[in-house]
Structure 1
């Protein structure tokens, strides 16, 4: 790369300097901005890289970042969802232990609101951000935060387009295990109910070789759970039926229930259904009652997230359990390592899930 130029002859950016120096964008931002903790050897390497590229920091951006505020931001997709409420608690617990305050944003799964939240946090000279990104493909605002020297950690979702740590679960394996549980009980006509982002929604396609179904789409939790569901069927040589695979923007229980009723009202309905989120789990459970389908006598059901209600209803629901509070803690702990100067390569931290078997499934 020539002096004074970034990719394709453009003015060099912090990201260009970071790439030249072999460090993260956030570390380069801190070194070039003269704030935060950066090892002296790294600081010197970054400045040498900046000199080679002819990098000149933007005076306005530099003036807006003059020191830490001992606060971090948490941007949640939907705080009304118990998952994000618990994750928020985990983030806040770690922040408090570190002597920091957490500024919380609920963005209702809207990218425009998320972009604005990031800008507000930057204006407040935040020290770092934990975010569950609305989009895994439109992440320019997160990269810009890093270029300002603000570490970013992704929660629940990851993106190859932003050089950031992430805390996730193995959604493919979790869905595969849930579906295998139903297959082990003799079910072959198994439905799926999943909530997806229509902007990055999946597409069902013919699997290689023409047998069965595959899914094409961004690596989001919901899409990966569809992948796991279809993989489990394929492993048992069970052909997936397109009319049993239902997904859409089911943002509340009412819309999820409506789709579940349509699924259960088919002329040849499924004998079992895997609901891939907590919202679709509740929608499916209420739809079964509305349709007069006894669980598990007429319908076996596996849901996602071990919420309190799933163990209190009759019958209690078999679920894939994850720990959002532990995920929030892990994300915040990783963020504080970055704030304190850790410049190790980005890490994808995968927390475990487990299948909690209760009474909502039965042998066919």
Structure 2
């Protein structure tokens, strides 16, 4: 049986002999419409059986309790967990969540934020794709859109944020390797335009400098946060004539890639190479040996971000608040000690 075509605003406008824009204003109750034209539109709507899209109308008028979340990469286990926690916290406060991943692409982030703004979401939680190019976020803040940044703090953007001490966590990891006798410590990190990658690289550099060790660019590899790119970066680092004795990776995806790469080229952890990764993840405890990691309190980040956002939505007007959690080095079995002569 053929489905009956539903009546549209265009149909109502034609029947009432008005423009589509005038019909939309009369039906949705916004803007000015003369009384005679409005009466014709309403009469035509009743006669044609027009049933407006109430959800679309409510979105346009900000009538639905929806907040938006724009993570860097929803496939990253860190953002997947944070998204889950944001959703649970939002629903607990009678709000719904729209998730749209930027894939660490600045142009995509701009488009997604524009779309969320057009939908009249009540506020947004964002992990910015760039440390420097954030005029689009600044505009939203000026317009009064409630925004909370997570994972990545932008010093020049006056809004709330929830993050961890990325630099301190990375420095502690590298200092642990140094304390175990390692001097040739390699680093795999993401694009430096991403705040977390920049901060974790800074922690690596400061740990080396604090112990009088050179920062050897041959031991530093830039990789996109994918398993395959991390595999390629690891193989490049360990194909050098003088191999690193240790490796620090800046997220769990890169740690996974490093594990696969080291196995493929016949290197054993920790006998041949020691490994520490930033972010704890399931695979870290399923491997033999288990992987030493810098753990974030991931379960706290989403709920705190939602709480801060809802307070802004409800009218809180105090200066920007910044929550920064400490990381924790979890020592397992992936770091060996190199004994050096006294």
TM-score, structure 1 as length reference: 0.74
Query: How far does residue 363 in structure 1 lie from its aligned partner after superposition?
Result: 0.6
> Which segment drifts farther, 173-182 or 69-78?
69-78
1:158 and 1:131 mapped to 2: Cα distance?
A: 10
Whether 1:347 and 2:321 are equivalent positions in the alignment is yes
SS in 2 for 1:192: strand
Aligned to 2:171: 176
Q: Does 1:224 align with 2:206?
A: no
Does the 8 Å CA contact 1:84/1:324 hold for their aligned counterparts?
Answer: no
Instruction: Select 1:130's aligned residue among 112, 125, 132.
Output: 125
Match of 2:156 in 1: 161
Give 1:258's aligned residue: 232
2:258 corresponds to:
284
**Residues 127 and 150, structure 2, Cα contact 8 Å, conserved in 1:** yes
Residue in 1 that maps onto 2:20: none
Compute the displacement of 1:66 (Å). Answer: 5.3
Give secondary structure in 1 for the equivalent of 2:315: coil
State how many pairs are aligned: 280
Structure 1 residue runs without a partner (length 5+) = 1-63, 201-217
Match of 1:101 among 96, 104, 115: 96
Q: Aligned equivalents of 1:69 and 1:143: distance in 2?
A: 25
Q: Which residue in the other structure is 2:13 paired with? A: none
SS of the aligned residue for 1:358 comes to coil
Please state how far the C-alpha of 1:170 moved relative to its aligned partner. 0.8
Question: 2:220 aligns to what?
Answer: 245
Residues 197-236 of structure 1 correspond to what in structure 2 (within 5 A)?
200=193, 220-236=195-211
Is 1:269 the counterpart of 2:243? The answer is yes
Give the TM-score, by structure 2 length.
Answer: 0.79
| 1:208 counterpart residue number | none
Give me the whole-angstrom Cα distance separating, in 2, the residues matched to 1:65 and 1:104.
18
Out of 257, 271, 288, the residue aligned to residue 297 of structure 1 is 271
Q: Within 2, Cα distance between the matches of 1:254 and 1:188?
A: 27
Matched, 1:361 2:327: no
Instruction: Give the Cα separation in 1 of the matches to 2:318 and 2:326.
Output: 23
Q: Which residue of 2 aligns with 1:152?
A: 147
Q: Using the alignment, how far apart are the partners of 1:265 and 1:165 within structure 2?
A: 44
Deviation per residue, 1:185-243 (Å, 9 max, x gap): 1111111111215xx3xxxxxxxxxxxxxxxxx7x111111111111111111222221
Paired with 1:66 and 1:96, the residues of 2 have a C-alpha distance of 21
Among 307, 315, 320, the residue aligned to 2:289: 315
- RMSD between aligned alpha carbons? 1.6
CA-CA distance at 1:294 after TM superposition: 1.1
Say which is worse superposed, 350-359 or 238-247, in terms of deviation: 238-247
Q: Which has the higher mean CA deviation after the structures are superposed, 111-120 or 72-81?
A: 111-120
Aligned to 1:187: 182
